[in-house]
Chain A
């Protein structure tokens, strides 16, 4: 598994009176295959995962993925770390399903034929083959999230970061996304409010008020989180 090092990271948004620290002095090394991130809204967990592929560069400290600093090697890091957002509508770039999956491949210089073969393979793997030429905006919420996942996975990242991928989904669609995530051979970092998604995870981090307050196996982490929230 890739090694993700977060070394004395703090992050602040805004300036002057609107200055807000969203992460304080976080140090952690992630090497497990399944890592969960939980915490209340505004606790810093989304900022934390955005650090992992360089979407956010920390105001203090450093983040490295297999030794590559996200500050200096953003492109290489992003190739290794795929990112899936909460709202699939905000990450589907192309009008049709197949075109969106092909988008990342074309940008990496793959030829039309090779890209088309990879797209076909990926859509079949995630149950979207019948929708290849459909407008993406007409898919159901669950299908859109699967499309967003497919569009990331087709580029073959080593790490997949998922920021609350089931928050906008009903139980059936959330279960479909969960099945896909469970079957992935990748290193997965999952932010979620659905605590049952963490069953079988190797490690769970709990964030509260911009700090990493607990780090351990899922059961103990969820217990800690419940106590914090009560």
Chain B
């Protein structure tokens, strides 16, 4: 089971909704989220997204797997806002971040990447006249999604190597090889894309 928000096949309502609609919904949710200013609104947003998970047939385990990587970020954000603006502001911000992240994960969990790419390519079609290549943007989106587990895997390998050499407390010993390996991976991926005809 993937710990990350990658597509999981199904036949639920969220699965059946068109990819373009789901992406639009996500954009609309992001745009309107700036107007949230009461804790109950933040809580409602989170509950609404959790309803989406239920509809899609995903349990709390799946929800937790989407949130878990954020815990380290959410904690400091909460403390920051409690100190500066009080618990109400912290609750609004946390609700906003959580609901948006969970919504984005729900979209990727219920939508094939190719459907998302097709929707983006269609939506960007009119921008061809100003030189935008929609297929390139779609490919970028697909590669972005595909790269998440790859970079996570590289980070795990680097951390294991770090532990094996007793360098657990060195951020530099973690960051440098991770960046180098990520760049090397990007280089190899570039070659593979050319070999598969992307540059033609």
Number of interface residues of B (CB under 8 A): 28
| B194 and A55 form a contact (CB under 8 A) | yes
Closest to B8 in A: A133
A83 interface residue per 8 A CB criterion:
yes
How many A-B contacts are there with CB distance less than 8 Å? 86
Q: What class of interface size applies to chain A in its complex with B?
A: 20 to 34
Q: Any chain A CB within 8 A of the CB of B70? A: no
Instruction: Classify the interface of chain B: helix, strand, loop or mixed.
Output: helix
Residues of B within 8 A of A155 (CB): 196-197
> Which of B38-46, B82-90, B141-149, B161-169 interfaces with chain A?
B141-149
Interface string of B111-152 (1 = CB under 8 A from A): 011100000000000000000000000000011011001100
A93 at the interface (CB under 8 A from B): yes
Contact indicator A90/B185 (Cβ below 8 Å): yes
Whole-angstrom CA separation of A77 from B114 in the bound complex:
27
B197 touches A104 (CB 8 A): yes
- Please indicate the chain A residues that have their CB under 8 angstroms from the CB of B113 in the complex: 94-96, 99
Whether the Cβ atoms of B149 and A55 lie closer than 8 Å is: no
Please pick, from B2, B6, B142, B192, the residue contacting A91 in the complex, using a CB distance under 8 A.
B192
Within 8 A of B (CB), among A77-112: 78-79, 82-83, 85, 87, 89-96, 99, 102-104, 106-108
B191–A96 contact, CB under 8 A? no
Can you name the residue of chain B whose Cβ is closest to the Cβ of A107?
B197
Which A residues have a C-beta under 8 Å from some C-beta of B?
53, 55, 74-75, 78-79, 82-83, 85, 87, 89-96, 99, 102-104, 106-108, 133, 135-138, 151-152, 155
Listed by A's residue number, 14 A-B pairs whose Cβ atoms lie within 8 Å are A53-B195, A55-B194, A78-B197, A83-B195, A85-B191, A90-B188, A90-B189, A92-B146, A93-B196, A95-B7, A102-B114, A104-B197, A135-B6, A136-B146
